[in-house]
Structure 1
């Protein structure tokens, strides 16, 4: 069954089609949700809310573009909505240092597994992580991020710059720890 037929069956209320849609796309969407959440439980909540919205709005999917891309935007929007609603999340204002001048060697990155990189990304403060995800992974421009998050474009740029610096430090630290463990 292709995506168009699957969508039509879901719109018609076919439970097995809805289940199949979930089974096909949930793993990919969960990865997206994890990038915007602090823990698995939060990511699962975003995923659940996202799929509810997907099912309710399938009739607005035009078939232009990939179904997965359309669903991805819904998941990101749900995650950003939760982010904006969170009263305890604030952007950190950190003094500039020379951290941004350091580079992580390609060798270090090539030895890290995707799950290790995800774990490091999860440890970023939420403001940094959100801006990093939107800019580096999702491809939004800083003015778009600023609009989505209700911050200034300059704040978006500084958050991205600082997130890269912090990630570099974390990756270097992980590499040092891993090398010590291997050498023992």
Structure 2
């Protein structure tokens, strides 16, 4: 971060502006961390539209709670946690709608990607993960990508540790099957 004349980094100045409700600071923060936050949201949602909704809800929480940000800790870590929690809230609110589509997804584990396994790129891998059922995708992302324990996942999602472990095993199995189809 560039340093200003008063010795504060640009991020500190932006966050201070957000604390004061400055819309220009909020816009700057949104633009600066859009890509990072969107990357987190995409992992936890089924579609880009859902990811944008989670992203916007997450940034609203960031702006509302800007006074709680500890500048001695990593802002990105705090932002990621806000986005993950917002995605989990979104999932809980919409999980009843996902159940019906889970059956369709289970029948159609087909993807639009093609090519040898050694040429799979990041976008294809994200697409494969998004083809997992919502319950499997949540546990997979929380455990494999974000490093939460099964105890923490169970508490976050309101499921047992055994269910978390089972969902992870099934997510890995489904991913393996999808990769074999490539």
Aligned-residue offset at 1:17: 1.6
CA RMSD of aligned residues (A): 1.5
1:79 aligns with 2:77: no
In the TM superposition, 1:84-99 aligns within 5 A as 84-86=92-94, 87-89=96-98
Rounded Cα–Cα distance in structure 1 between residues aligned with 2:47 and 2:98: 15
* Aligned structure 1 segments of 4 or more residues deviating by more than 4 angstroms: none
Aligned-residue offset at 1:43: 0.6
Could you tell me which runs of 5 or more consecutive residues in structure 2 were left unpaired when the two chains were aligned. 1-8, 103-115
Deviations 1:129-180 (A, max 9, x none): 0000000001000011011111110000010011011101111212xxxxxx
Rounded Cα–Cα distance in structure 2 between residues aligned with 1:116 and 1:65: 33
TM-score, structure 2 normalization: 0.82
Rounded Cα–Cα distance in structure 2 between residues aligned with 1:80 and 1:13: 26
Secondary structure of the structure 2 residue equivalent to 1:88 = helix
Correspondence for 1:180: none
Rounded Cα–Cα distance in structure 2 between residues aligned with 1:37 and 1:9: 30
Q: 4, 15, 36: which is aligned to 2:23?
A: 15
1:139 aligns with 2:152: no
Correspondence for 1:4: 12
Q: Which has the higher contact order (CA 8 A, sep 6+)?
A: 1
Could you tell me which runs of 5 or more consecutive residues in structure 1 were left unpaired when the two chains were aligned. 93-106, 175-184
Rounded Cα–Cα distance in structure 1 between residues aligned with 2:21 and 2:89: 27
In the TM superposition, 1:1-184 aligns within 5 A as 1-86=9-94, 87-89=96-98, 108=117, 110-174=118-182
TM-score, structure 1 normalization: 0.81
Rounded Cα–Cα distance in structure 2 between residues aligned with 1:36 and 1:49: 14
